Amino acid sequence: MNSQEVRSTFLDFFQSKGHLIVPSAPIVLKDDPTLMFNNSGMAQFKEYFLGNATPKSKRIADTQKCLRVSGKHNDLEEVGKDTYHHTMFEMLGNWSFGDYFKKEAIHWAWELLTEVYKIDKDILYVTVFEGSKEENVPFDQEAWDIWKSLISEDRILLGNKKDNFWEMGDQGPCGPCSEIHVDIRSAEEKAKVSGRDLVNNDHPHVVEIWNNVFMEFNRKADGSLEKLPARHVDTGMGFERLCMVLQGVQSNYDTDVFGPLIEKIVTLTGKKYVKGEALGEQEKTNIAIRVIADHVRAVAFAIADGQLPSNTGAGYVIRRILRRAIRYGFTFLDTKEAFIFELVDTLAAQMGSSFPEIRQQKDLVKNVIREEENAFLRTLDQGLQLLDDVVKQTQGKEVPGAKAFELYDTFGFPKDLTALILEENGMSYNEADFDKAMFEQKTRSRAASEVSTEDWVIVREKMEESFVGYDLLVNEAHITRYRQV
């Protein structure tokens, strides 16, 4: 089943169960002060759970573009190193707002996975919340009983509060969740580990695919729980992970979601990508290729949704992700010229039918990425040389914060990029001193607002210089949105 079919099968299935299919919300949130990027399917429905708004339908399903690069959910460090955490990914979800509850949710999840997608039951495990006396929340007997009617007991594992209890905040709707994990280990891998607590063993080929949250409590200000009058279901399934399972591969990058991007990177750089385990230099090449294939999606979708790279806020997060990708290419794939922008055509061809914005904004996205690449590449070489000298000169493992700041200030190295490069050398830098240097510089140069205004002017000038035959209307619309950030 190709990824288009995987996606449409999910949506068709829930439509057949009475769900209204809605489009993904933008990846960048403009009106939620608590969240910079959409990081789960439920974010756009938050107000329904809080009872502040009424949904169009009590049953909704969709695929949501998510980005997990900041705040509580930050997977950036894992990306490319493992094969199943991405910065940007799609979360397939179904919701019940005060309608069906555990029984239907679990039965449908099982029906979809085993009867429609025809996943072998013997590779599935589920988790159920074990309860917590201290926190005054009970064991989820109801979910346990439902699962017991579907699978053998030794495939139902208990999970603790961290993994199996979901809370929106210190107060408000909350409840236990039940996850579905899939075991795609090879026979050799299986021979090495066995036992009940597989899921908690963090084996890279035993992966969580679907989380079903059952909101049935309200956490009150005094910390106690009361039953909610209306109970809700909120589920999220990792689309790329599901494709991995259904396409019989062991890495999200070996699916058709990433395949064309990887092929294009290989063509553009002349490097080799090796599926499965790679060692030594090839492992570094593999990681770099995965990082770039991943990061270009995050950056391209953010720009298509109106978030240009900049020096502040969400724009800076996007710039950092792109710079991280550029540097991986520069160091491990020997790319000394802009090339990431060329991947946007591949991405648009592949994702455009499900997410038309990427096709509509393709030229803008390409131009912005190319400009960013050129600007950063101009200083990257010098910056890396400086960092190399600093590493050589430093005695011990900690680089002075002022040096890391110099790289940031003069060469545009985001601090997490400096940290990453140092980490590759078994080193770190002094963060407190970095922050101090940053504070002093800000005081000197009067305020971040100037930086962001200036940033806007630069981006705009560059676009006008280099955009040939570009649709100015779209450009203006983006600039205006960008300005409001």
Residue placing its CB nearer to ligand ATP in the complex, 75 or 433: 75
- Does position 235 interact with Mg ion (CB under 5 A)? The reply is no
- Provide φ and ψ at 461, rounded to 5°: -60, -45
Please report the DSSP string for 288-333 in residue order. Answer: HHHHHHHHHHHHHHHHHTT----SSHHHHHHHHHHHHHHHHHHHHS
Count of CB atoms within 10 A of residue 294's CB? 25
Close Cβ partners of 246 (under 8 Å, ≥ 6 residues apart):
1, 6, 117, 119
Count of CB atoms within 10 A of residue 322's CB? 26
- Whether the Cβ atoms of residue 225 and residue 218 lie closer than 8 Å to each other: yes
Map tokens 């002093």 to a residue. Answer: 440
Quote the CA–CA distance of 462 and 341 in Å, as a whole number.
15
Residue placing its CB nearer to ligand ATP in the complex, 165 or 210: 210
- Does position 211 interact with Mg ion (CB under 5 A)? The reply is yes
Q: Which of 10, 37, 49, 89 binds ligand ATP (CB under 6 A)?
A: 89
Identity of the residue numbered 400: P
- Does position 85 interact with ligand ATP (CB under 6 A)? The reply is yes
Helix (H) or strand (E) holding 214: strand 206-219
Give the one entry of Mg ion, ligand ATP, none that residue 415 binds, where binding means its C-beta sits below a cut-off of 5 to 8 angstroms depending on kind: none
Residue placing its CB nearer to Mg ion in the complex, 156 or 404: 156
Interacting span for Mg ion (CB under 5 A) from 200-208, 328-336, 457-465, 477-485: 200-208
Interacting span for ligand ATP (CB under 6 A) from 116-124, 202-210, 390-398, 472-480: 202-210
Q: What is the DSSP letter of 360?
A: H
Residue placing its CB nearer to ligand ATP in the complex, 126 or 404: 126
Count interface residues toward Mg ion (CB under 5 A): 2
- Whether the Cβ atoms of residue 438 and residue 430 lie closer than 8 Å to each other: no
Quote the CA–CA distance of 471 and 162 in Å, as a whole number.
49
Q: Which of 98, 159, 236, 414 binds ligand ATP (CB under 6 A)?
A: 236
Please report the DSSP string for 378-392 in residue order. Answer: HHHHHHHHHHHHHHH
Give the one entry of Mg ion, ligand ATP, none that residue 159 binds, where binding means its C-beta sits below a cut-off of 5 to 8 angstroms depending on kind: none
Quote the CA–CA distance of 150 and 185 in Å, as a whole number.
23
- Does position 40 interact with Mg ion (CB under 5 A)? The reply is no
- Tell me which residues in 391-430 interact with ligand ATP (CB under 6 A): none
Q: Which of 19, 59, 65, 68 binds ligand ATP (CB under 6 A)?
A: 68
Residue placing its CB nearer to Mg ion in the complex, 209 or 369: 209
- Whether the Cβ atoms of residue 170 and residue 219 lie closer than 8 Å to each other: yes
Give the one entry of ligand ATP, Mg ion, none that residue 238 binds, where binding means its C-beta sits below a cut-off of 5 to 8 angstroms depending on kind: ligand ATP
Interacting span for ligand ATP (CB under 6 A) from 99-107, 233-241, 330-338, 384-392: 233-241
Quote the CA–CA distance of 32 and 312 in Å, as a whole number.
17
Residue placing its CB nearer to ligand ATP in the complex, 73 or 336: 73
Give the one entry of ligand ATP, Mg ion, none that residue 142 binds, where binding means its C-beta sits below a cut-off of 5 to 8 angstroms depending on kind: none
Quote the CA–CA distance of 252 and 86 in Å, as a whole number.
9
Quote the CA–CA distance of 56 and 59 in Å, as a whole number.
9
Interacting span for Mg ion (CB under 5 A) from 39-47, 207-215, 348-356, 388-396: 207-215
Cβ at position 211, least distance to Mg ion in Å = 4
Cα angle value 229/232/234 (rounded, 5°): 160
Q: What is the DSSP letter of 19?
A: P
Count interface residues toward ligand ATP (CB under 6 A): 16
Cβ at position 32, least distance to ligand ATP in Å = 17
Q: Which of 60, 61, 91, 344 binds ligand ATP (CB under 6 A)?
A: 91
| 364-378: burial string, b at 16+ Cβ within 10 Å, e else | bbbbbbbbbbebbbe
Residue placing its CB nearer to ligand ATP in the complex, 22 or 177: 177
- Does position 323 interact with ligand ATP (CB under 6 A)? The reply is no
Cβ at position 404, least distance to ligand ATP in Å = 27
Helix (H) or strand (E) holding 181: strand 172-183
- Does position 238 interact with ligand ATP (CB under 6 A)? The reply is yes
Give the one entry of ligand ATP, Mg ion, none that residue 80 binds, where binding means its C-beta sits below a cut-off of 5 to 8 angstroms depending on kind: none
Residue placing its CB nearer to Mg ion in the complex, 77 or 208: 208
Give the one entry of Mg ion, ligand ATP, none that residue 236 binds, where binding means its C-beta sits below a cut-off of 5 to 8 angstroms depending on kind: ligand ATP
List helix spans (H) across 70-122: 102-110
Interacting span for ligand ATP (CB under 6 A) from 151-159, 203-211, 420-428, 463-471: 203-211
Cα angle value 370/374/378 (rounded, 5°): 170
- Does position 39 interact with Mg ion (CB under 5 A)? The reply is no
| Residues near Mg ion (CB under 5 A) | 208, 211
| Residues near ligand ATP (CB under 6 A) | 40, 68, 75, 85-86, 89, 91, 208-211, 236-238, 240-241
